[in-house]
Amino acid sequence: GIQVEQSPPDLILQEGANSTLRCNFSDSVNNLQWFHQNPWGQLINLFYIPSGTKQNGRLSATTVATERYSLLYISSSQTTDSGVYFCAVVKGSSNTGKLIFGQGTTLQVKP
């Protein structure tokens, strides 16, 4: 099956710093999503981005499908950004939307 690798596994930032999270995948995809799992365990949709670039406030994401990677940028980080960030993909040949997750990046933003 398709492999999804995220890096770094852990990240500690000072409030106000910027960061880049990476997601590599081993096959073509027709769906890629970024999620934030907050400290209460909720999975929050950040971006649906199978290709191209999107921005939402301090967060932006870029997916280069031909090179099989996606990046999530967090600017001017805040303590509320803490949690785990997941990348999840649907394989390009899939006809049912089976979403496969990476292992996540755990982010801690210190005040």
Partner 1 sequence: DAGVIQSPRHEVTEMGQEVTLRCKPISGHNSLFWYRQTMMRGLELLIYFNNNVPIDDSGMPEDRFSAKMPNASFSTLKIQPSEPRDSAVYFCASSLWGPMGTEAFFGQGTRLTVV
Q: How many of the chain's residues bind partner 1 (CB under 8 A)?
A: 21
Closest to 58 (Cα-Cα) out of 31, 86, 91, 20: 20
* C-beta of 18 vs 38, nearer to partner 1: 38
| 78: phi then psi, degrees, rounded to nearest 5 | -125, 160
Calculate the dihedral angle through the C-alpha atoms of 69, 25, 42, 95, rounding to the nearest 10 degrees: 110
Residues of span 23-62 touching partner 1 by CB under 8 A: 30-31, 33, 35, 41-43, 45, 48, 50
Residues making contact with partner 1 (CB under 8 A)? 30-31, 33, 35, 41-43, 45, 48, 50, 86, 88, 90, 96-101, 103-104
